[in-house]
Amino acid sequence: MKLLGLLVFSTSLFAQTHWVGTWGAAPSPQLEPDVMQKQFKATFNNQTVREIVHTTIGGDSVRVRLSNAFGPVPVQIGAAHIAVRANGAAIAAGTDRALTFSGRPSVEIPAGAVVLSDPVSLKVPQAGDLAVSLYLPGNLPGAGVHYSSQQTSYIAEGNATAAATLQNPVPFTSWVFLTGVDVLAPANVGSVVAFGDSITDGARSSNDTNHRWPDTLASRLLARKGATPLAVVNMGIGGNRILHEGAASKRQQFGINALARFDSDVLAQPGVKYLVILEGINDIGHAGSSAPASETVTAEDIEAGLRQMIERAHERGIKVVGATLTPFEGPANKTRGYWTPEKAKVREAVNEWIRTSKAFDAFIDFDKVVRDPANPTQVLPAFDSGDQLHPSDKGYDAMGAAIDLAIFK
**What is the pLDDT averaged over residues 159-168?**
97
* pLDDT > 90 fraction of the chain, expressed in percent and rounded: 87
Residue 144 to residue 153: CA distance in whole angstroms: 16
Whether residue 224 sits in one domain with residue 175 = no
The answer to whether 109 and 74 are in contact (CB under 8 A) is yes
Structural domain count of the chain? 2
Tell me which residue range forms the domain holding 294.
186-407
Residue 54 falls inside a structural domain: yes
Q: With 50 as the cut, is the pLDDT of residue 1 above it?
A: no
Domain boundary among 180, 213, 232: 180
Confidence of residue 2 (pLDDT cuts 50, 70, 90): very low
Whether residue 255 sits in one domain with residue 193 = yes
Whether residue 237 sits in one domain with residue 172 = no
pTM of the entire predicted model: 0.94
Whether residue 398 sits in one domain with residue 338 = yes
Q: What pLDDT is attached to residue 41?
A: 60
Confidence of residue 12 (pLDDT cuts 50, 70, 90): very low
Whether residue 138 sits in one domain with residue 235 = no
pLDDT in tens, 186-226: 999 999 999 999 999 999 999 999 999 999 999 999 999 99
Q: What is the four-CA torsion angle of 313, 29, 295, 387, rounded to 10 degrees?
A: 90
DSSP string covering 201-256: HTTTSPTTS--SHHHHHHHHHHT-TTSPPEEEEEEE-TT--SSS-GGGGT-GGG-S
Lowest-confidence range among 2-11, 181-190, 221-230, 373-382?
A: 2-11
Phi-psi region of 103 (alpha: psi -120 to 50; beta: other; left: phi over 0): left
**What is the pLDDT averaged over residues 113-126?**
98
Q: What pLDDT is attached to residue 11?
A: 39
Whether residue 299 sits in one domain with residue 167 = no
Confidence of residue 58 (pLDDT cuts 50, 70, 90): very high
Whether residue 160 sits in one domain with residue 176 = yes
Whether residue 291 sits in one domain with residue 318 = yes
Whether residue 223 sits in one domain with residue 80 = no
CA Rg value for the chain = 21
Whether residue 276 sits in one domain with residue 162 = no
Burial of 404 (0-12, 13-18, 19+ CB in 10 A): exposed
Whether residue 221 sits in one domain with residue 148 = no
Q: What pLDDT is attached to residue 409?
A: 87
